[in-house]
Chains A and B, each alone.
Chain A
Amino acid sequence: MSPRWAPSKGTGGKGAGVEGGEGAGSGDGDRLVTARPLPGRRRLLARHPLARFLLRRTATAILLALGVTLVTFVLTNLVPGDPAAANLGQRAIGDPAIVAQFRHHYGLDKPLPVQYVTYLGNLLHGDLGESQQSHQSVLTDLSTAVPATLELAGAAIVVSLIVGVAFGVVAALHRDRLTDQLLRVISLLGVSVPTFWLALLAFYIFFYRLGWAPGSGRLDPGMTAPPHVTGLYTVDAALAGQWPVFWSAVGHLALPALVLTAYTVGLLTRFTRSAVLEVLNQDYVRAARAKGLPARTVLFQYVLRAALVPVITVAGLAFGALLSGTVLVESIFAWPGLGAYAYRSATTLDLPAVMGVGLVVGLVYLTVNLAVDVLYGVIDPRVRVQ
């Protein structure tokens, strides 16, 4: 409780608290929040080679995985919900023998710490447990759900990046003029619109009224999925040369992906705008202009390159959010993805499945962050490993 105002500790302690704390605690979360590389990170990169960096990332990944499982575990066990009641039918729940058998089968009759340790032990073997709903291993369930969502989120983020960055740059270059105001309203609209409602509207207009879009699902009814390579139907179909399947998959992908872009386009537009504005004021940009470089060269090689760093961070974040946030859209388009699976597992308190989803999303998050950090180096030489 003693105040920390002693001058000797004062500024030094505070500085270390801010940077050291964020660097050591969980580099990811904090760096992402500030959306720009912290000095601490740069120091670390300068001091250590890539191996050290990757090692630290792996450690973070393990900690995160532990955190995710722990949160789910504690939450689902502290609250009054009962997995047996959620999964068994009305009649079965009245029969103590069936309930006891259910609890025994899923290990629910053991003490909590034992359950948790068992789960972690199985995790080491790559065993995520058995889903109480589908009675399949969670890994099997995820191997079909994850690619479906990855395809959706991937398509959405690519479109969002193109449109959002373009919008943001245009807005910044026309700062405070009509175009800027207009784009500002558009991006605010994008982040304000409820996606589930937009999905409903899009489905009604483009499928029901106009008949432009195919119905729900990933493929036209009667079409068989392309041979499994990546699990992304578009890629798999193209690899197998099944062009009708490819076009069907693209058609089914287009509408839900576009609905998902609304939010991310809004986000990226605003972020790109402020990032570009910040760079536009830099001396080196002014110098480049002053020495008579063509506007295009200044924009692409001086401004955009520096401005893209924070933008890519946000895009990585948005991609992670898309992975779990697709649930509302997936439910309207009957897309058999991770969101739909998470929803089903959450509502039935299917513990292993929920933890599996959490782990997958967490891992993708980390992978994306790693890719983003590597991209930093490519885009911005200042953060490169020396």
Chain B
Amino acid sequence: MKFSLLRRLPPAWRRPLAVTGGLVALIWLVIVVAAPLLAPHDPLAQNLPRLTGPGAGHWFGTDELGRDVLSRVLYGARVSIPLALLLVAMSLLVGGVLGACAGFFGRWVDETVMRIADLVFAFPTVILAMVVAAALGASLQNAVLAVLVVSWPSYARVTRGLVMGLRNREFVLSGRLLGFSAWRSLRVDILPNVLGPLLVLATLDIGTATLLLSGLSFLGLGAKPPTAEWGAMVADGTQQFDKWWIGVFPGLAILTVVLAFNFLGDTLRDALDPGTARTIGAEKERVG
């Protein structure tokens, strides 16, 4: 049964990495939905014995305020994962639309968009995100905005490159000659051809987004204290060095989520043709 199911998947998806990544991502998505059912305690309730190590009753131990770490890690998934997905979707939309316009219309549109992208690239990513987050005030919402500011240019660049390659292809030109408006041409002829590579880039970017977001929270520029957010929980762990479980488990949660999406994205990239894969690969190096 299991084998026949596996065999139905496209070859790229059958690789162990993709299967592992997919499974782990799926488990986390289930946790996002079902956290209230799975968590043994209220993630914010401070009614347990403080700083007890992992053991029966509290598998992941309790923190300095007497909260159950396991419950907080499970609830943390509801913060980090949807935000990372939202962030990537927003970068995809903003970067994709701007990049498509730049690539399709060229001239001053292209110049304007790409020079703004260059400007963002010129500035160190982490510091720019820090400045934006600090200037807007520390909150999760602003952290997402900060990361959006630094992440859209990658999408714009890739989209622009792809659209420029497609713009003069025969099927696009014949559409235009039939009287398609620019908008219709972009939507009907070009969009389906750029969506695949962009989605791969987005999948690879979910990991980066999660890391950046939790990093900002770790620095105190994201989630506010009572919120169960993984980066902030690791920061709590630094306050209690000898109580390793406070920081280790949320960090493991970040690692598994990022790893799962990177496994998936990596496999997907291999399934693309080499030229496109290289564009995306190179773009990813930029983000680091």
Which of B137, B215, B283 interacts with A196 by CB under 8 Å?
B215
Q: Mark out the residues of chain B between 5 and 46 whose CB falls within 8 Å of any chain A CB in the assembled complex.
A: 16-17
Is A239 part of the binding interface, using a Cβ–Cβ cutoff of 8 Å? no
Is B196 part of the binding interface, using a Cβ–Cβ cutoff of 8 Å? no
- List chain B residues, Cβ under 8 A from A320: 124
Q: Mark out the residues of chain A between 254 and 281 whose CB falls within 8 Å of any chain B CB in the assembled complex.
A: 263, 267, 271, 274
| B247 lies within 8 A of A197 (CB) | yes
| A14 lies within 8 A of B168 (CB) | yes
CB distance from A40 to the nearest CB of B (A): 15
| A274 lies within 8 A of B281 (CB) | yes
Is B75 part of the binding interface, using a Cβ–Cβ cutoff of 8 Å? no
| A328 lies within 8 A of B218 (CB) | yes
- List chain A residues, Cβ under 8 A from B56: none
Is B222 part of the binding interface, using a Cβ–Cβ cutoff of 8 Å? no
The majority secondary structure among interface residues of chain A is helix
Which of B167, B168, B219, B251 interacts with A331 by CB under 8 Å?
B219
Contact with B along A345-369 (1 / 0, CB 8 A): 0111100001001100110000000
Instruction: For the complex, count residues of B whose C-beta is within 8 A of A.
Output: 70
- List chain A residues, Cβ under 8 A from B17: 181, 184-185, 188
Which of A11, A81, A203, A321 interacts with B134 by CB under 8 Å?
A81
| A71 lies within 8 A of B122 (CB) | yes
Is A10 part of the binding interface, using a Cβ–Cβ cutoff of 8 Å? yes
Bound-complex Cα distance A188 to B266 (A): 9
Is B282 part of the binding interface, using a Cβ–Cβ cutoff of 8 Å? yes
Is B195 part of the binding interface, using a Cβ–Cβ cutoff of 8 Å? no
| A64 lies within 8 A of B122 (CB) | yes
| B164 lies within 8 A of A14 (CB) | yes
Contact with B along A5-48 (1 / 0, CB 8 A): 10000110110011001000110010011110000000000000
Is B86 part of the binding interface, using a Cβ–Cβ cutoff of 8 Å? no
Which of B221, B247, B262 interacts with A192 by CB under 8 Å?
B262
Bound-complex Cα distance A90 to B134 (A): 18
| A188 lies within 8 A of B262 (CB) | yes
CB distance from B278 to the nearest CB of A (A): 8
Bound-complex Cα distance A181 to B266 (A): 12
- List chain B residues, Cβ under 8 A from A14: 164, 167-168
Most buried by A among B17, B131, B248: B131
Is A191 part of the binding interface, using a Cβ–Cβ cutoff of 8 Å? yes
What 7 pairs between A and B have smallest CB-CB spacing?
A197-B251, A324-B124, A79-B135, A346-B130, A81-B135, A192-B258, A192-B259
13 A–B contact pairs at CB < 8 A?
A17-B164, A26-B118, A67-B123, A79-B135, A189-B259, A192-B211, A197-B255, A204-B241, A323-B124, A324-B127, A325-B124, A328-B219, A346-B133
